[in-house]
Chains A and B, each alone.
Chain A
Amino acid sequence: QMQLQQSGPGLVRPSETLSLTCTVSSGSITKNNYYWGWIRQPPGKGLEWIGNIYYSGSTYSNPSLKSRVTISVDTSKNQFSLSLTSVAAADTAVYYCASVTMIRGAPAFFDYWGQGTLVTVSS
């Protein structure tokens, strides 16, 4: 069964950049039928999709975050990463990485999830 392990700091200062990494084990990040995604959840609120990446580097991002989001992949390390610039208190959330099954050649549903990382934006 695929496993995803997240890493990264739990505290980021306002206006700085949030960076998280997700390492995929028990499976290759270059699997043909998977995208890799990021989702976040502010405390006490619902889920918000951030973006997805294919191992080739093709990405899709939430339009509301697109100008601040970079998602990248490192196939040599079986990892993918999230970078969110110019963070503010509203970016405080639990961030999840997930595998994204492909349907019709496009990202579809999230089947395996990382453990989640609470990132607090505060000085």
Chain B
Amino acid sequence: GQNIDQPTEMTATEGAIVQINCTYQTSGFNGLFWYQQHAGEAPTFLSYNVLDGLEEKGRFSSFLSRSKGYSYLLLKELQMKDSASYLCAVRGWAAGNKLTFGGGTRVLVKP
């Protein structure tokens, strides 16, 4: 089975940096994804890690340590529009390569 944990909520100030942690325990690992989800909308893809290390994409970076079952998403230069839920998801090896999602971290950006 899969168990994916992330904090429920975080608050940060506009212009600051926020780090969202995700820990996972899985029976098979084939990559970790981060998605952004605004209320009532679909998840939108942010980043993908399958090897250890840091992937940088503009203001967003994601880190993976497979030996520790740990990832984080780093959001820099926070903007008000970054207020959303951030979903950590693990891809398995089973036939359909489904994504299993954590509960999401709601980030509130304050002026």
Tell me, yes or no, whether A binds B.
no
Binding site for A on B (CB under 8 A): none
